[in-house]
A and B are shown apart, each in its own frame.
Chain A
């Protein structure tokens, strides 16, 4: 089973459980607050997934491993190599 089918199965399962509970197919008499929580649950799931995605991106941006010293070193080496090649008669 691929990851995609796993996710689809999970979502279908959750969705059918949600639909059954919201439509009252099971014949349960849920108290009013529970029903009020139940019907926006898909939207809630979507919003929390979005928040998680945003938070992950933010965290990775904040802790990204820059190598500024290495970049400077590489730049200086490029300049050096260009000067050396130009001295030997290579035109860019």
Chain B
């Protein structure tokens, strides 16, 4: 069995993903069918952001992955040069 911290982190991740999924589903799928005067529209950003935010998040993620890979490759190159 996993330790306490592992369990907390794991179920935390599950909870975060579930929260994001339900919020995004309400935002994208349910909101157009609800009357535009309804109070629930106060709790959601304009619809364009439903695409722009994931796009921005994906680009940021790609940027960080790229930076990380460059950093690791440069570091390993230095080490092999030293070893030679």
Q: Which residues of A contact B (CB under 8 A)?
A: 32-34, 36-37, 40-41, 43-44, 46-48, 51-52, 54-55, 57-66, 68
Contact = CB atoms under 8 A, between A and B. Distances in A.
Interface of B: 1-3, 6-7, 9-14, 16-18, 20-21, 24-25, 28-29, 32-33, 47, 50-51, 54-55, 58
Contacts, number: 87
Nearest to A38: B32
A66 B16 contact: no
A44 B28 contact: yes
B15 to A, nearest CB: 8
Contacts of B11: 58, 62
A11 B4 CA distance: 40
